[in-house]
Amino acid sequence: MDLGTLIGIVLSFGLVLSAIMTGSSLIIFVSVPSLLIVVGGTIGAGLVNYPMNYIIGVIGVIKNTFFSSLDSPAEIIDRFKDYANRARREGILSLEPLIKEIDDDYMRKGLQLTVDGLEPQTIQEILETEISYLAERHATGADVVSALGTLAPAMGMIGTVIGLVQMLQTMSDPSSIGPAMAVALLTTLYGALIANLILMPMAGKLKARSKEEILLREMIMEGILSISKGENPRIIEEKLNSYLPPKDRIVSE
């Protein structure tokens, strides 16, 4: 689980709530009509902007900001050193029994193509296509979340206008001015909070997570191509290390 996302949300909302409770009661900042305008309006506008399956899929996309199942670069390098050593000692077909034990679909597919005897250029074309469409799917998910983050403050402004209109129409009744003004201001607050503390930061996290996964996929592709060419395990390690910052590189003893 990504503690950074969880800590960030808890910390940001916690500080906002603490500031509110320091000066007044929290209950006066609760408005069901404001929440319906912002949340309902944002989802509705999102459905107009994107196909329904995109909006429904946002739940799974947001989940990726909390959970990550990516292998560490060090683990990937160790795996390919082992695979390369096996391939040099026992032949490329010795990797076939190991393929079923690999959880990563991308790595499993690449090694299977290698074992099947495809040319390195063909393997590279297939794996690069996989990376290309992976990047496109990730970009779409981040764009949807970002678009919802843009729509939320706009719906807050619409709620503000609604509240002001209600207030102006009932100026003769002083008791109705307060609730109408509350809806006007709270919708803006809700839209700003949802956009700036949840949706926009999550869109940024998704983009960062996508870059991280693409980098790991490129490392895996480099390792697979090197094995298919029969390169020395030491050379493979150096190639894969080049994808990492100097401080994170693995130094063999």
Q: pLDDT tens digits, residue range 197-252?
A: 999 999 999 999 899 999 999 999 999 999 998 888 888 888 888 888 887 777 66
Per DSSP, helices labelled H in the chain are 3-23, 32-35, 41-49, 52-56, 58-66, 73-90, 96-99, 105-115, 120-169, 174-194, 200-228, 233-241
Counting Cβ atoms within 10 Å, is residue 154 exposed (0-12), middle (13-18) or buried (19+)?
middle
- Contact (CB, 8 A) for 82 and 98: no
**pLDDT (tens digit per residue) in 17-66:** 888 888 778 888 888 888 999 999 999 999 999 999 988 888 888 888 88
Is it the case that residue 253 has pLDDT exceeding 70?
no
Q: What is the pLDDT of residue 193?
A: 93
Do 226 and 247 lie in a common domain? yes
Do 6 and 78 lie in a common domain? no
Do 37 and 21 lie in a common domain? no
Do 102 and 133 lie in a common domain? yes
Exposure pattern of 232-243 as b/e (b: 16+ CB <10 Å)?
ebeebbebbbeb
Q: DSSP character for 116? A: T
Do 167 and 224 lie in a common domain? yes
Q: What is the pLDDT of residue 73?
A: 85
Overall domain count for the chain: 2
Q: DSSP character for 237? A: H
Cβ neighbors of 153 (< 8 A, separation 6 or more) are 188, 191, 192, 195
Do 180 and 110 lie in a common domain? yes
**pLDDT (tens digit per residue) in 104-136:** 899 999 999 999 989 999 999 999 999 999 999
Q: What is the pLDDT of residue 74?
A: 85
Q: What is the pLDDT of residue 196?
A: 93
- If you average pLDDT over residues 97-103, what whole number do you get? 87
Q: What is the pLDDT of residue 245?
A: 83
Do 11 and 75 lie in a common domain? no
Q: What is the pLDDT of residue 23?
A: 78
> pLDDT tier at 91 (50, 70, 90 boundaries)?
confident
How high is the mean pLDDT of the chain? 87
Do 185 and 61 lie in a common domain? yes
CA dist 233 and 219 (Å) reads: 14
Q: First-to-last CA distance in the chain?
A: 32
| Residue whose tokens read 């390169």 | 231
**pLDDT (tens digit per residue) in 43-54:** 999 999 999 998
Q: What is the pLDDT of residue 106?
A: 92
Q: What pTM value is reported for the model?
A: 0.82
- If you average pLDDT over residues 175-185, what whole number do you get? 75
Do 234 and 117 lie in a common domain? yes
Whole domain around residue 17: which residue ranges? 1-30
Q: What is the pLDDT of residue 222?
A: 93
Do 70 and 156 lie in a common domain? yes
Is it the case that residue 166 has pLDDT exceeding 60?
yes
Would you state the structure tokens that stand for residue 101, as one six-digit string?
Answer: 């034990």
Do 10 and 95 lie in a common domain? no
Give whole-number Cα distances, 233 to 70, 94, 247, in Å.
Answer: 23, 16, 21
Is it the case that residue 78 has pLDDT exceeding 80?
yes
Is it the case that residue 2 has pLDDT exceeding 90?
no
Do 62 and 161 lie in a common domain? yes
